[in-house]
Amino acid sequence: MFGSLKALPADPILGLLAKYRKDTNPNKIDLGVGVYKNEAGHTAILNCVKKAEQHRLTTEDTKVYIGPTGSELFNVEMANLVFGQNHKVLTENRARTVSAPGGTGALRVAAEFIKSCKAGATVWVSNPTWANHTGLFEAAGLQVKTYPYYDYENKGLDFDGMLAALKEVSSNDVVLLHACCHNPSGMDLNNVQWQQVAEVAKSVGFTPLIDMAYQGFGTGLDEDAYGLRLMAETVNEMIVCSSCSKNFGLYRERIGACTIIGESALSVDIASSVLLSVVRVIYSMPPAHGAAIVETILSSDELRNEWHSELKEMRDRINGNRQLLVDKLIENGVTRDFSFIARQSGMFSFLGITPEQVQQLQDEYSIYMVGSSRMSIAGIANSNVDYLAQSIAKVL
């Protein structure tokens, strides 16, 4: 059976990480992997997470399944975090949330749910989008098309192109939108633009699928959810996939959530039964440990406040790194305008150099980023930013 198989190329980011680890240059810099790192280059466990884990260690008394929906408390707390406690989709009882194995698991559940609603449906994703989006949807048998988003030449948002494309989308289609901290460009819609997109969604009738992997990493927990909450107020049906990997630092715990919004409590109950049947045949029951950590933090005033403080520290460090790199490039005589980096949000940005220059940075200076010049801002530190800026200046 296996004899006809041919080896597939390795994931480019994982391949980049393997090269970085083998590199013996003491000045090497990893700007490829999309995980938060502190000034020392370490992805530490949050203090609030440690405390929540200790609480779980002393109170957990069973390892029995928690059911396909996951923990009820986790689902409630996540819905409140995503939408805000008094959002009308919650007060009107029109939202149903299930736990999922990470944001990726939530997206795959959403994809299979969409297929159950309309086999062969088309999902529109931004150009560019997270590399795994297309594979996830195509693996579920869905069609994937792109709408304009990032303007590579002007290093900004092609909003006119985006809006024009969305107006031509079919009412039976699904449009994926990044809630905040767009991966990989770092370019987000502003509030006015979100209002226009929401109006188009209502007018055209397509179903928004909003991926929120970085809530709290942009401007703030509520600010980053502005577009998502506005869209939920505007349309009758919507899907939201959220992740706890980044803002809680729970990368390896694999915990996220998939939320569906219906026109009424009755219609969303029907949809939820289909959603749960999808869960049943993919992974049957979700993992419990990460959910228990998150619900413990969010349901405790003390731990939630500590989380807010730690999250702000991570957010401020990322935003500070953006401006720091821009300033250092200027200090090193770079005349090209890189100010767009400081205007973006989240973990990523396109540096805007050629693939050949990206390869030169890797070969000659041991600086690793994806060939598109997408770089992870969290990999920048006070200890390496001078070397990074000097290397970029030489390559330019």
Residues 6+ apart with CB under 8 A from 117: 274
Give the torsion sign (CA, 250, 233, 93, 282): negative
Length of the chain: 396
* Residue percentage of the chain with pLDDT more than 90: 96
- DSSP-derived letter for residue 46 is P
**Could you give the domains of the chain?**
10-44+315-395 (3.90.1150.10), 65-299 (3.40.640.10)
pLDDT digits (tens, 9 = 90+) for 104-147: 999 999 999 999 999 989 999 999 999 999 999 999 999 999 99
Please check whether residue 150 is in contact with residue 184, taking contact to mean a CB–CB distance below 8 angstroms: no
Distance of alpha carbon 58 from alpha carbon 115, whole angstroms: 42
**Adjacent-strand bridge partners of 127:** 148
- How many Cα atoms sit within 13 Å of 139 on the Cβ side? 12
Phi-psi map region of 61: left, alpha, beta (phi>0 left; psi -120 to 50 alpha): alpha
Say whether pLDDT at 182 is over 90: yes
Q: What is the pLDDT of residues 212-255, one digit of tens each?
A: 999 999 999 999 999 999 999 999 999 999 999 999 999 999 99
Q: Which of 345, 336, 342 is nearest to 323 (CA)?
A: 342
Q: Please write the tens of the pLDDT for every residue from 61-113.
A: 999 999 999 999 999 999 999 999 999 999 999 999 999 999 999 999 999 99
Using pLDDT thresholds of 50, 70 and 90, give the confidence band for residue 8.
Answer: confident
Model confidence at 340: pLDDT above 80: yes
Taking a C-beta distance cutoff of 8 angstroms, is the pair 242, 78 a contact?
Answer: yes
pLDDT exceeds cutoff 90 at 197? yes
Computed over every residue of the chain, the mean pLDDT equals 96
pLDDT score, position 14? 80
Position 291 scores a pLDDT of 98
Residue 161: other Cβ atoms inside 10 A: 15
Q: From CA 65, how far away is CA 287, in angstroms rounded?
A: 9
CB 105 within 8 A of CB 254: yes
For residue 3, pLDDT over 90 is answered with yes
Residue 13 has pLDDT above 90, yes or no: no
Distance of CA 189 to the CA centre of its chain: 15
Q: How confident is the model at residue 17 (pLDDT cuts 50, 70, 90)?
A: confident
The pLDDT value recorded for residue 177 is 98
Question: Regarding beta strands 367-368 and 174-178, do their DSSP bridges make them parallel or antiparallel, or are they unpaired?
Answer: unpaired
Q: 325 in helix, strand or coil?
A: helix
Nearest one of 341, 338, 299, 296 to 322, comparing CA atoms: 341
Contact 73, 252 (CB under 8 A): no
On the question of pLDDT at 150 being above 90, the answer is yes
Q: Is the confidence at residue 33, as pLDDT, over 90?
A: no
What is residue 241's predicted lDDT score, i.e. its pLDDT? 98
Ordered DSSP codes for 365-378:
H-EE--TT-EEEGG
- pLDDT exceeds cutoff 80 at 10: no
State what percent of residues in the chain have pLDDT above 70.
100
Q: What is the mean pLDDT of residues 331-356?
A: 96
Q: Copy the structure tokens of residue 385.
A: 């930013």
Q: How far apart are the first and last CA of the chain?
A: 51
For residue 177, what are the CA distances in angstroms to 92, 213, 275? 24, 11, 20
Nearest to 321 by CA among 332, 329, 310: 329
pLDDT of residue 9: 82
Q: Active-site residue numbers?
A: 130, 211, 246
Name which residue leads in pLDDT, 18 or 313: 313
